[in-house]
Structure 1
Amino acid sequence: MRASDIMTTKIITAEPDMSIQHAAGMMVFAGISGMPVVDESGKLLGMITEGDLMHRAEIGTGVRQRAWWLEMVASTAELASQYVREHARKVKDVMSTNVTTVTESCPVGDIAEILERRKIKRVPVMRDGKIVGVVSRSNLIRALVTMAPEVPSSAENGDHAIREDVLASMKGQPWAMARENVIVENGVVHLWGPVVGAEEGHAIRVAAENTPGVKDVIVHFGQAPTE
């Protein structure tokens, strides 16, 4: 799955000379938390988000007076930048210009990693220097809901086949269970064996739960398999 499969193509954008109040109103009424800023030719200039509008003098959310020693160590440029963020009236003065973008062919997994690493909520999708879509966290969640593969019922897989699939799903993992510790009865997977750490136990259980045909997973860590 790639960016082109899940991106929003009806893009709401802001203009650099748009007022802060106008941009804030657009986000509120559209139910979005950020939008690209483009010029008249459609060139991407930056992004404006709720985070850029959090500290504003007119609503009393500006950064509070710092301790005197912090004021001393803060550079003039830093204090000037803070003043602009709190008092500027146009989008171009508060927007973020260091924008991460992706192409339409970018894998969804890479987009999720970018959003997490950069601590951002959306990325513009570009084609030939122009923005053609936006992928947000909500797009990823929708993809999870609408595009997840269906899991076949246990009737389609016998217990033997399910057991082999469970073992295969753990193959090569350092926390994988031994073959003799995995038993399947009527689609229910029983995991036996020695006590394992909490994280290893979660991984083993999830691997079993994600196996097609599994009805339930029951763990018996710390016990020997029953005959």
Structure 2
Amino acid sequence: MHNEPTPSVEPREFGVGGRITLSVMADDFVDVILGAIAETPRDGLTVETDPVSTWFTGAEQDIARYVSGLIAAASRGGRHVVANVMLSRGCPGEITCERPDRPPVFSDAPLTVPTTGVEAVAQWALYPLDDHGSPERSADHMRDIYAAIEDAKASGTFVDSDHYVTRLSGDVADILTTITAAWASVGRTVAHVTTHATVSVNSPSIARTAEAGR
């Protein structure tokens, strides 16, 4: 019966998590990266750092706050910071429970992230990995992508569509809210969905563009 409740599943059991890699364009990049990792609260998450990236798993709300806080912490010294972020929900290789018939919803509350005061730009792509659809909803990945872009426009973070990506700008928190909310929203109807973003803070190209416009 399609109206039966979704079985109780924890976010980690359903493969909700991701990875972030910070690149800091400064000689003291080690101190900046390790300092940001140590400073950023990881409430509700399991977090592990390896030589390439930092992996995290937990609820979508906690993930958005952690990634936003980590990028902001690394950027407040004025250095040029680039963060490569990948989020995944429902990855078959990560699921440790029996896959529910319908993707679980972990929270109905609006996703909110505290403002950081750090402005950023980002290139973002969303990948609904839906091959078969469901009795209630046909598989149509472009429908979900276009809906996410419209939500980004409504949020005020949308800048433009570019080759293979959507460009965003604004406070780091607003960018992460846009990205994570879209990923979580698609995950309510698509069992496996991933999203990728490259977030840049204190980019020298932005400073040069501003100088050229004066």
TM-score (norm 1): 0.23
Which has more radius of gyration? Answer: 1
Greater share of strand residues, 1 or 2? 2
TM-score (norm 2): 0.24
